[in-house]
Amino acid sequence: MQKSEVTEDDWMVWDVINSRGQVFVDEIKIHELIQEILPDTSWEIFQDILLNLYEVGLVRKRQTHDERYMYQARSKETATKLQALENHEFEIYELIENSERKGISKTDIQKQIKLVQSLVESSLKNMQEQKLIKEVKPKTKKLYMLFDIKPHDESLSRLLYTNGEPDTFVVESLKSICYNFIYRRSFPRGMDEDAIFYPNYNGYVTLSKVVQCVQETKVTEIEIEEADIKQILDVLIFEGKIIKKFISNVDPNSMKTDDNRSDSQFVYIAKRARNINNAWTQAPCGRCPFFENECTENGEISPSTCIFFPQWLNKAINMIQNDEENEKGKDTLDW
């Protein structure tokens, strides 16, 4: 890595990029933003600053499809470590960095970098010692990735998985906690049991509130992440117990800043529990394992020889007899 000095202007530009967080920012956007702190900076000078930052290792560079560049800030500690690397080691580091959470194997690195194998290996070893990268083995295959990010597989998650399998007990208990919380907040209290909120009510539950609730119950010591709870809620949506709605609460009087974007968001509303009253599954044919293929009109298995029909009919007879004794007098049978 070339060792060049970082000027004050460079630091200011780096601050601007760093303030955007862990995202890639378009260079035109950066140029607009630095006009406030470094007015009248020409495009050429700006590009020199960016080049300097890149060479020192303080920013990552990526090219868009229409030949512009985007930049993302790196931390100062990483940049100092990168300064100590050789050029080829820096190239390998960039490859590993670009693979992000997926990781990249040694063979892929060698294909792209076209160096001698021993050189690649020694560079990787050097970077591992410096704690820039780490080795992971998700599926008996060695992959390399940056030291401080979580590999793809592990992210799903320590909370819900034990030994690579979903922990059904944890999942079920979290599901019931989330569902009960959402159910309580979806219908008004202190009124009729079937009461509902008025339309455009904006007090429904959001994801962050659910996470907060689960954290407060202290069900587990493991850290509860939003992604885990989102998964649980997705399962509840697919089971038909809750629905997800997009509610926009844009206040026309307030200033349009980034904070207001969070007001328009997804909320979760519980559906009422209802009895499943399907007539077909209450009849014997609805639950019979032979209904689809084996049962025919005159075959060996047929309605005439069915063993389930008499049981069903006997049950109905007993119900009618009980009703007659209790003098309820129903007109139709409610199965």
Partner 1 sequence: MAQALLRLCCYIIRDDFGPIIEEVAKVLLQKGRLPLVSISKFSKQSVSKTRECLFVLIQHNLVYWAETREGSRNSIHYSIDQNEVLARVNFGIYIKYANEWVRHRGADEITYYMLLNGKGTFNGFIEDRNISKRTNSERYLTPVRITDSKSAQDKASEAEQRELAKVTNFIPTKKQMAEKRKINFDSIERPTKQQKGEDPIDENQYYRVNYEKFNAKSRNRQIVEFVKAQINQSASIIAKVVLDIVDDEKPNDVESYAISAQRIIRSVPIEKTDLFNQQMQSARRGVTREILIKQYLDYLVEYDDILRKKDENMGGMYIIRYNEICESLKKEIFEDVIMEKYGFKGVRIVRLLYEKGKLDEKAIVNIDESFRSSPKAYRINERGFCTNTSNLSSCQEVPRSADRAPSRTFYLWDIDYKKCYDVLLNNYYQTLANIHQVRFDYESGASKTPRKERKRRCITTIE
Which residues would be at the binding site for partner 1 (CB under 8 A)?
Answer: 156, 160, 164-166, 168, 171, 188, 191-192, 194-201, 231, 234-235, 238-240, 271-272, 274, 276-278, 280-281, 283, 285-287, 291-292, 295, 297, 302-304, 306, 309-310, 313-314, 316-317, 320, 331-333
**Shortest distance in whole angstroms from residue 293 CB to partner 1:** 8
CA 92 to CA 20: how far, in whole Å?
A: 26
For partner 1, which is the closer residue by CB, 43 or 201?
Answer: 201
CA nearest neighbour of 159 among 169, 148, 146, 144: 169
In the bound state with partner 1, the residue whose beta carbon lies nearer, of 88 and 230, is: 230
Q: At what angle do helices 117-129 and 87-98 cross, to 10 degrees?
A: 70
Which residues does residue 116 pair with via DSSP β-bridges, in sequence order?
A: none
Judged by beta carbon, residue 115 or residue 177, the one nearer partner 1 is 177
Compare residues 262 and 302 and give the one whose CB is closer to partner 1. 302
CA distance 71 to 24: 5
Query: CA–CA separation, 297 vs 162, rounded Å?
Result: 51
Q: Cβ 287 to partner 1, closest distance in Å?
A: 8
Contact 58, 73 (CB under 8 A): yes
User: Which tokens sit at 40?
Assistant: 């009248």
Write down the least CB distance from residue 128 to partner 1, Å.
30
Q: Read off the tokens for 216.
A: 């407060």
Q: What is the DSSP code string of 241-266? A: SEEEEEE----TTS---GGGGGGSEE
Q: Quick check: 133 and 145 in contact, CB under 8 A? A: yes
Torsions phi, psi of 87, nearest 5?
-60, -45
Quote the least distance from Cβ 106 to partner 1, whole Å.
25
Q: Based on CB atoms, which residue is closest to partner 1, 82 or 210?
A: 210
If the CB atoms of residues 33 and 319 are measured against partner 1, the closer one turns out to be 319
Task: Kindly tell me which of 17 and 229 has the beta carbon lying closer to partner 1.
Answer: 229
* Cβ atoms 330, 323 nearer than 8 A: yes
Assigned token pair, 145: 């990735």
Degrees to nearest 5, angle at CA 102 with 115 and 67: 70
Nearer to partner 1, 40 or 238 (CB): 238
CA distance 144 to 137: 9
Residue closer to partner 1, measured from CB, 39 or 329? 329
Cα-based distances in Å from 244 to 178, 233, 251: 14, 9, 22
Q: What is the C-alpha separation between 241 and 252, in angstroms, rounded?
A: 34
CA 102 to chain centre: 16
Q: Smallest gap, in angstroms, from Cβ of residue 100 to partner 1?
A: 17
Closest distance to partner 1 from the beta carbon of 303 (Å): 4
Query: Minimum distance from CB of 139 to partner 1 (Å)?
Result: 11
CB of 182 to partner 1, least distance (A): 16
* Smallest distance from partner 1 to CB 229, Å: 13
